[in-house]
Every structure is written in structure tokens, then in C-alpha cells.
Structure 1
Amino acid sequence: MSVFDIFTTAFLIGMIGFWLLWPVSILRRDTSIVDFWWGPGFVAVIGASWWMAGASLTGAGPLIVGLVAIWGLRLGVVLGARRLREGEEDPRYQDIRAAREPGFWWKSLFIIFTLQGVIQFILASGAVAAVVMGRDALGPLAAFGAIAAVLGAVIEARSDYQLDLFKRSHPHGKLLTTGLRSHVRYPSYAAEILFWAGIAAIAVDAGIWWAPVCTLLLIALLMWISGVSVLDQRLTDTRPDYAAYKARVPALLPRLSSLTGRVGTAKPRQ
């Protein structure tokens, strides 16, 4: 099977997952279920690529597939359970729906589901290239990348746990500012960047020199397109105490004083 065929098939596998969710979103009137396939879709795309390339047990393939499986399947379960528990469309998607009516039901196929599939494959492309074309011999950079990816996955899991615990025990509208969120406003985003930076490091060690571009695109996406900027605006408009929190706590990169505890008194973790 040629490299082109592997990339094309992997892309279609990711897209089919999103397209299958589209009619479900119409029935539920909830396009935020697109998030169900975000993590598992990466597992499917990268895992299928590795399998089609021969599923070698040496080199970057098994390492990347294993790390992405741990990260992606956990994320899928967490986001899926969150959507079912909350029972309504995420406010970010509510805003998109309101801006695209009438006819949002069919527009969502392109501007939500298909677009996410394209973005997912672009972000996964460095890892796909590594498991398909990467060299077998790996060095210290791959070990460093694996450690960074594991750390990112652990921090993201901790962040999601703290947020879900807070939502279950506090009234709607309250702002979580303790735990990891006393250091950065969006620890899940920061951890996801760390995870994919680790995967990119493994890919570079395998000979895919351009893999970090995928991580840079992820940073741009989370900072200015669908993440920090959008949530900052919505929370500023809806939470009266958010402006002060935003001025005090950085978005993604913690301040050294925050980590060492030299300034202020640390709040109890959630």
C-alpha cells in the first residue's frame, strides 16, 4: 500500500467518524457531540495508518500509537460523559448556531463536522508520517518526547477531573480558580499542547523534521481560533469575577512565582 493510499484512507477514517455524528447532532439538536470523536479520532487515524504500514513493533509506531491511545480514548470518555451529563449544547456551539441560522442543521455538516475532520488530520499528519515513514532507530529525543507526552496526558486528566468535580459540587455560574487553575486559566489546553509537543519530538527523532509545525498549528488554534480567545470573551461577558481572575492568572504558561508559591498564599486543591 502506497504512502499516499495510507494517508488518504486514514483521512477518510477520521472524516467518517465525524460524518456519522452529524445526523445524531440533528436529532439531539446538539452539535457539541462533535467533541466525542476528537480524541478517539486521533487514535483511529494514527492507529489505522500504523496498521496499514505494516504495524512494525520497532521505531516510532508502537510508541506513538500507544501514547495517543491513552490520551485520546480517555479524552473521548470524559467529553462524552460531560456532554451526556450536562444535557445541552455547549455554549460555544450555541453561539455558532445562533450566528448561522437559518439552516444551521445542514451548514453544521461543513462548518463543524467536516472542518473538524480536516483540522484533526492536519494536526495528526506529523504523527501519521512518523508511524508510516519514520526510521526504526530512536534516540534520546524520543525518550524526552515520550516523557513530555505522558506528563501532558496526566496533567490534562487531572485538569478534567478537577473541573468535573467542581461542576458537580458547585452551582452553575461559579468559577473554578483553585487547583491547576490557580496557575493557568486553561490547564487542559496547556497539557494538550505539551502532549502533542512530545509526540512531535518523537516524530522528529524518527526523521519527520516538519512534525513540530503540527504543534504550532495546535497552539494557534487553541490560542486565537477556538480556544482561549473565544472562552475569554464569553467568560468576561458572563462571569463578573472573570476579569480579575484573567488579570491575575496567565492563560497557558504559569508564572514561576505561581509554581514556587513565593507570591501569595496557595489555595487548596479541588
Structure 2
Amino acid sequence: MDVVIEHGWIWLVSLGGFLALWPISLLRRDASIVDFWWGPGFGAMAVALWLSMGRPTDGMTLAILVPLLLWSARLGVHLGLRRIREGEEDARYQELRAAWQPGWAWKSLFVVFLLQSVLQGLTAMGVLAGLARAPGVAPSAGVYVLSALAILAAIVELISDLQLDRFRARVPHGGLLTTGLRGIVRYPSYSAEIAFWSLLSLLAVVAGVWWAPLSALLIFALLRYVSGVAVLEDRLARTRPDFESYRARVPALMPRLMQRGPGAGSGQRKAAD
């Protein structure tokens, strides 16, 4: 944990980004712009740490840094374009706004912006500690395999998001997207996200940070039980008549390798997450 104490100032990069977005959210009446900083915040912290380390370019450092920056940039662009395209507050934040009235303006600072900064810092901690320890660690072939798989996970996440965006463009008034990657699992973006952080955590372990998998465990817990699957399952069950049959035949996050439910990925035009 000494590396966390030494480089704990990195979290201020995360905090600064979220604090800058909060007053903008009040002017726009759109708390969902907090998502703008979720991906880029990780990249900004990594770059700040890398610069403070003297910009090392050894193999172990790049094996961690390159996938993280690619993932960060991709997610920032994707969420930014989605917010601009949709033009209104995300439904999840609309529900929070209604639930936390009166006084949402001040409450949103704590329950949205500061909370996300804390979660971002905790999630990044293990991987960034691995990045700080990476110089001087001789990478094996397995390190490059893990790094390549992390990039592949980010690509799968990109494909999943593009499939959903194309579906929403064709079917703007709801429905369920049950084809493509969503014929294999209900939430492929979340599956790829968990895989990505698991792989980066393993790279951090190789760099000497044994507790780094806590980052992946936190991501899994958030996506499965807090802000991801749990929230979407409830909303889709209430708003999509065909969701229950879809849920019965297609697993949430882990593909069924031995068998698939009838109709999964059969080309039905239905809805999205």
C-alpha cells in the first residue's frame, strides 16, 4: 500500500474533473453529463502518474498504460457523442432526480459527482499502483498476451455499444435488441468491462501489486449489483413486455458455452440496455 500513499495525489485529477462538471450539470439540468469524465478520468490519472514517473517507455509500463488509454479515450468519445445525440438527461439520472427532491442541486454534488469520483479512485487504485511499479519489471510473453486481450475486451465493448446505437437509430421508441452480442449475453458491454479490468488487474499483479484484483471485484460489484445490471433489469422489466422471455433464455453476463436457449440470437427485432 505504500505506492498508494506515495501517489495518492493522483485522485485529485479525478476529483477536479467531476467538480468541474457539477455546475455545468446544474445549468443544463442534466446530471448525466457526469458520465463524460468516467472514462477520460481514468486516462487522465494514468497520464498524470506516467508523467510524474518520468515518462517511462519500458514494455511492462506500456502493457498497462496503452490498453488503459485506449479504453479511456474510446469510452469518453462514445458517452460524449451519446449525450449529445440524445439531448436529454439519461433515464437513470431522471429517476435519481425525482427520488432526491427537494434539494437535488446540492444533493447531486454528493450522490452523483463526489460519489463517482470516490468510486473512480478506488477502481483505478490497483491498476495505477501496478503502473507505478511497472518500470524495471521484465515483461514475459504472457504480459503481452494479457495486454492484447485487454485491448480485445475494449474492442468487444466498442462493438456492443455500436450495435446498440445502430438499433436505437432504427427503433427510436423502444424495444429490445436481442441479436448480435446480445444474443449471447444480455449485457455484453458490462461483460467486456469486467474482463478488461480483470486483465489489467492481472497485469498489476505481475508488476508486484498483489491486491490489484480488488479493482476488478469493485467493477463487478458495481456493474452487477449497483448501477448496471440491477438498475437495467428493473427498468426493462417495467418497460419492455418481452424482457422476461429474453431474460429466461439469455444469461446476463456469462455466456452459456454448452447450450443456448431457444431463439437466442435468432434475429428478433426487439430492444436495448
Instruction: Calculate the TM-score normalised by the size of structure 1.
Output: 0.93
What is the alpha-carbon distance in structure 2 between the residues aligned to residue 243 and residue 176 of structure 1?
Answer: 13
Partner of 2:200: 199
Verify the 8 A CA contact 1:148 1:197 in the aligned structure 2.
no
What is the alpha-carbon distance in structure 1 between the residues aligned to residue 112 and residue 66 of structure 2?
Answer: 28
**Cα drift, residue 54 of structure 1:** 2.1
Partner of 1:210: 211
Partner of 1:267: 266
**Cα drift, residue 147 of structure 1:** 2.6
Partner of 1:95: 95
- Confirm or deny that 1:20 pairs with 2:20: yes
**Cα drift, residue 154 of structure 1:** 0.9
Verify the 8 A CA contact 1:42 1:72 in the aligned structure 2.
yes
Partner of 2:230: 229
Verify the 8 A CA contact 2:160 2:181 in the aligned structure 1.
yes
The worse-fitting range, judged by mean Cα deviation, of 53-62 and 156-165 is: 53-62
- Confirm or deny that 1:144 pairs with 2:145: yes
What is the alpha-carbon distance in structure 1 between the residues aligned to residue 144 and residue 240 of structure 2?
Answer: 42
Structure-to-structure mapping, 1:34-73, within 5 angstroms: 34-73=34-73
- The one-letter code matched in structure 1 to 2:254 is L
What is the alpha-carbon distance in structure 2 between the residues aligned to residue 179 and residue 143 of structure 1?
Answer: 29
Partner of 2:84: 84
**Cα drift, residue 265 of structure 1:** 7.0
Verify the 8 A CA contact 1:141 1:202 in the aligned structure 2.
no
**Cα drift, residue 49 of structure 1:** 1.1
Following TM superposition, the consecutive aligned residue runs of length 4 or more in structure 1 with deviations greater than 6 angstroms are: none
Partner of 1:31: 31
Partner of 1:125: 125
**Cα drift, residue 170 of structure 1:** 0.9
User: Matched residue of 2:7: which SS?
Assistant: helix
- The one-letter code matched in structure 2 to 1:152 is A
Could you say if the C-alpha distance between residues 106 and 264 of structure 1 is closer, same or farther in structure 2, counting changes exceeding 3 Å? closer
Alignment RMSD: 2.0
Partner of 1:170: 171
CA deviations on 1:229-254 (whole Å, 9 max, x unpaired) are 11101110111111111111111001
Verify the 8 A CA contact 1:40 1:72 in the aligned structure 2.
yes
What is the alpha-carbon distance in structure 2 between the residues aligned to residue 222 and residue 64 of structure 1?
Answer: 22
Verify the 8 A CA contact 1:189 1:222 in the aligned structure 2.
yes
What is the alpha-carbon distance in structure 1 between the residues aligned to residue 174 and residue 256 of structure 2?
Answer: 27
What is the alpha-carbon distance in structure 2 between the residues aligned to residue 269 and residue 57 of structure 1?
Answer: 48
What is the percent sequence identity of the aligned residues?
49
Could you say if the C-alpha distance between residues 117 and 262 of structure 1 is closer, same or farther in structure 2, counting changes exceeding 3 Å? closer
Verify the 8 A CA contact 1:148 1:198 in the aligned structure 2.
yes
User: Matched residue of 1:256: which SS?
Assistant: coil
Instruction: Calculate the TM-score normalised by the size of structure 2.
Output: 0.92
Verify the 8 A CA contact 1:196 1:215 in the aligned structure 2.
yes
Unaligned stretches of 5+ in structure 2? none
Partner of 1:106: 106
What is the alpha-carbon distance in structure 2 between the residues aligned to residue 244 and residue 221 of structure 1?
Answer: 25
- The one-letter code matched in structure 2 to 1:22 is W
User: Matched residue of 1:209: which SS?
Assistant: coil
- The one-letter code matched in structure 2 to 1:9 is W
Verify the 8 A CA contact 1:139 1:205 in the aligned structure 2.
no
What is the alpha-carbon distance in structure 1 between the residues aligned to residue 264 and residue 112 of structure 2?
Answer: 42
Verify the 8 A CA contact 1:37 1:76 in the aligned structure 2.
yes
What is the alpha-carbon distance in structure 2 between the residues aligned to residue 55 and residue 6 of structure 1?
Answer: 17
